[in-house]
Structure 1
Amino acid sequence: MVQAVAYSTFRQNLKSYMRQVNEDSYVLLVTNTNPDDNVVVMGVDDYDALMETLRVYENPYLRDKVIRGLEQVRSGRVAEHGLVDGE
């Protein structure tokens, strides 16, 4: 969900907006009178997840592996197993 807020309002309520972005996983568009000065604010966890997704999609080997896994799940070719043997 993207929410927009004017720069002056963002500045006056910075702590509140930072909490909202982190707790609700909002992406916040901070607008200014000059559209070239607009910025996007997002939580670091969401940013890290986005960057990891980009790294996977940019790597042909990993991207194909994910696609093959999705195809296996869709076709029902899955098996449940434990993560660690012997515990």
Structure 2
Amino acid sequence: MIAIKSIEMRDKFKAYCDKVVSGETVIVTRKDNQNVVVLSEKEYNAMLKAARNADYLAMIDKSLAELENGGFIPKDLEELRDHE
């Protein structure tokens, strides 16, 4: 991880983009601690996927807990068709 000032990012933008694409994360420090993190699209997509997976797993855990606590009413296929 590299931390740089915003003026350095501006002056050496291409070089830092090359570092980011190569797997480095760059933190651009700004006034009032309003910093920016620069990461590759590949890393960004991986983070989004991990977050979606975590949300999905949490939903499954919640459903399993609800099932174990009797929160579901079992229906057969015919009963489901009657509700269409």
> Under TM normalisation by the shorter chain, which class is it?
0.5 to 0.7
TM-score by length of 1: 0.63
- Which of 27, 30, 36 lines up with 1:29 in the alignment? 27
Q: CA, structure 1 residues 56+17, in 2 after alignment: closer, same or farther (shift >3 Å)?
A: same
Following TM superposition, by how much is the alpha carbon of 1:57 offset from its aligned partner in structure 2, in angstroms?
0.7
Unpaired runs of 5+ residues, structure 1, are 65-87
Give the % identical residues: 25
Following TM superposition, by how much is the alpha carbon of 1:30 offset from its aligned partner in structure 2, in angstroms?
0.1
Deviations 1:22-70 (A, max 9, x none): 01x111100023212x100000001001110110011127877xxxxxx
How many residues in Structure 1 have an aligned counterpart in Structure 2?
Answer: 61
- Deviation >3 Å, runs of 4+: 61-64
- Which of 33, 56, 59 lines up with 1:59 in the alignment? 56
Partner AA of 1:35 in structure 2: N
Deviations 1:4-39 (A, max 9, x none): 01100010000000010001x111100023212x10
Q: CA, structure 1 residues 63+30, in 2 after alignment: closer, same or farther (shift >3 Å)?
A: farther
Partner AA of 1:18 in structure 2: C
Name the structure 2 match of 1:19: 18
- Structure whose CA Rg is larger: 2
Unpaired runs of 5+ residues, structure 2, are 62-84
Cα separation, 2, equivalents of 1:29 and 1:63: 35
